[in-house]
Structure 1
Amino acid sequence: MTHSLGYLVLLDARGGSPNPPHLDAAFVKLAVDFIRDCEESQIRIAREQFVSMCRKLKEQYLLMETPRQAVLPLRTALGKLADSTSLVTPLHADLCQMCVLSKCYSAALPVLDQEVDDVDPKKTAMTAKDFLLFGYYGGLVYTGLKNYSKALNMFLYTLTAPTMVVNAITMAAYKRYVLVSLIHAGSLRGLPKYAPAAVTRSTKTECAPYQDFASAYSKSDEDLHKAVTAHSQAFADDGNAGLVKLALSARTMRAIQKLTQTYLTLSLADIAAQVGLGSAAEAEQHILRMIDGGQVFARIDEAAGMVRFLEDPERYDTAKVVQRIDGQIQQSIAISGRLMDINQRISTNKGYLNKAGGKDRHTRMEDMGDFGSGPEQMAYQFNP
């Protein structure tokens, strides 16, 4: 499109922000066609207008209650806005949000699976809120895919972002961080040392029900039941009741896995009694799900009501395993190369050297621009 820049300005104005908002099918078609055909070099001159136009398009899809239809245009727009796959843009969060709302989680993987290590507001019109939402919604995408390790890493983007005051996005991310930690590891992972002190302090008061649940998780069934009962309304209000159920189920599965280390055969009734299930039939359902998921290797004798635990049949000597290991090695080498490049750029940056030497300390927070931590940047409302 020859005159993409001028067309963008007109289209952004055309999108408007009517109050109350109303459906505009003509704008949707124009915006989708523009995103597909626009010249990258031109829209990058007016990044803020391009992000604004894309978000107005997103709002239209939300009004139509068709978030799935927003995924492809937003993914195309993201590719045109960023000049590198390692660059985080404001549209990362919007794309992940639409994937979560439409439960089309895998559609975000082409973007999320890219290693991102660059946040540059000058190149993308990125704001602090955009970055926090990227970590939050990215974590929800991986949670929906049951890739809990990556979900925890995404939530940490939000929880470790520099700030001196907390906000609703950070607290929502922490609540899910607690539950995903319990599902994935069976215990709450503490926040890293570089997490802002304000976040660490606030989690103890703002997320007390989740702290209580995590504390009871490693105790007796009775203590855990009390914690769930006491805070069930808080979990429901936060939209986390489903994750609480998954955490309880994961606890039961870990208890069953421990039995495989002690017994070769065991009755379903005994398994139910030892892990706190209501009946042998309930124990059988748990074991069947674990067999399907590769979490345990066993054979069930339904007639006798017995379970025989087996050894892992995988010998880890196949070509597929070797290929996977090689892929992980290559990925580690690539990450190491990027880290060396970043370290080189930082170590030769005059601004960094001045700050590291103790000069201009009073301007450190001012230099962060949109990623500053004053209340004007961070205190905003959020409805997860």
Structure 2
Amino acid sequence: MASALEQFVNNVRQLSAQGQMTQLCELINKSGELLAKNLSHLDTVLGALDIQEHSLGVLAVLFVKFSMPNIPDFETLFSQVQLFISTCNGEHIRYATDTFAGLCHQLTNALVERKQPLRGVVILKQAIDKMQMNTNQLTSVHADLCQLCLLAKPSD
């Protein structure tokens, strides 16, 4: 792993351990270009981070992976996102709701493109549960969930 990526991982670990989520969000916002330049090492970065403890760092990596023009292995990325959404720390995610919603939107678009909307319904429901402060709160992910549900509905 390149030294800049090692520094990214170390900073994510340190800021997460210290509970400095605002600073961690700033780091993540500044690291998009670094991560994008090191696409071939991103799975190694994911392996070095714990989803529950380092949710914001994992979110940043998955967001960049989904931003690639051509996703080389969609099934692997789909599984990574599915695992992330089901096990990430909701309290941490609420510091980066725009990025989290962006990841959900990227997932929605990829599933619509592949004509597999049903695969995302449960995942997006879990994502909404992570984002919401209460069950009456609407999120931007609700629109993606609605789109997938409408497309997954069998036509008469």
Same fold (TM over 0.5): yes
- The answer to whether the aligner puts 1:66 opposite 2:125 as a matched pair is no
**Match for residue 147 of structure 1?**
none
Q: Are the aligned partners of 1:67 and 1:99 in contact in 2 as well (CA < 8 Å)?
A: yes
- Shift of the alpha carbon at 1:79? 0.8
Structure 1 CA distance for aligned equivalents of residues 121 and 141 of structure 2: 11
Q: Which has the higher helix share?
A: 2
Structure 2 CA distance for aligned equivalents of residues 7 and 38 of structure 1: 9
**Match for residue 15 of structure 2?**
none
Q: Are the aligned partners of 2:104 and 2:144 in contact in 1 as well (CA < 8 Å)?
A: no
Q: Where does structure 1 differ by over 6 angstroms across 4 or more consecutive aligned residues?
A: 20-23
Q: Are the aligned partners of 2:85 and 2:126 in contact in 1 as well (CA < 8 Å)?
A: yes
Find the partner of 2:86 among 25, 36, 46: 36
Structure 2 CA distance for aligned equivalents of residues 90 and 64 of structure 1: 22
The alpha-carbon distance between structure 1 residues 22 and 97, as it changes in their structure 2 partners (threshold 3 A), is: farther
- The answer to whether the aligner puts 1:56 opposite 2:124 as a matched pair is no
Identity fraction in percent: 30
- The answer to whether the aligner puts 1:2 opposite 2:53 as a matched pair is yes
Structure 2 CA distance for aligned equivalents of residues 33 and 76 of structure 1: 11
Residue identity in the other structure for 2:107: L
- Shift of the alpha carbon at 1:63? 2.5
**Match for residue 335 of structure 1?**
none
Q: Are the aligned partners of 2:121 and 2:148 in contact in 1 as well (CA < 8 Å)?
A: yes
Structure 1, unpaired ranges of 5+: 105-143, 145-241, 243-384
Aligned residue-pair number: 105
- Shift of the alpha carbon at 1:23? 6.3
Alignment of 1:229-244 (within 5 A): none
Residue identity in the other structure for 2:145: L
- Shift of the alpha carbon at 1:64? 2.2
TM-score by length of 2: 0.62
- CA offsets, 1:55-86, max 9 Å, x none? 11112212221101110000000111111111
**Match for residue 160 of structure 1?**
none
TM-score by length of 1: 0.26
Q: Are the aligned partners of 1:67 and 1:102 in contact in 2 as well (CA < 8 Å)?
A: yes
The alpha-carbon distance between structure 1 residues 99 and 67, as it changes in their structure 2 partners (threshold 3 A), is: same
Rg bigger for which structure? 1
Alignment of 1:304-315 (within 5 A): none
SS in 1 for 2:115: coil
**Match for residue 200 of structure 1?**
none
**Match for residue 131 of structure 2?**
81
Q: Are the aligned partners of 1:61 and 1:69 in contact in 2 as well (CA < 8 Å)?
A: yes
SS in 2 for 1:88: coil
Structure 2 CA distance for aligned equivalents of residues 21 and 103 of structure 1: 27
Q: Are the aligned partners of 1:44 and 1:81 in contact in 2 as well (CA < 8 Å)?
A: yes
Q: Which has the higher contact order (CA 8 A, sep 6+)?
A: 2
Structure 1 CA distance for aligned equivalents of residues 73 and 111 of structure 2: 9
RMSD: 2.1
Structure 2, unpaired ranges of 5+: 1-51
Structure 1 CA distance for aligned equivalents of residues 148 and 135 of structure 2: 20
- CA offsets, 1:104-140, max 9 Å, x none? 7xxxxxxxxxxxxxxxxxxxxxxxxxxxxxxxxxxxx
Q: Are the aligned partners of 1:28 and 1:60 in contact in 2 as well (CA < 8 Å)?
A: no
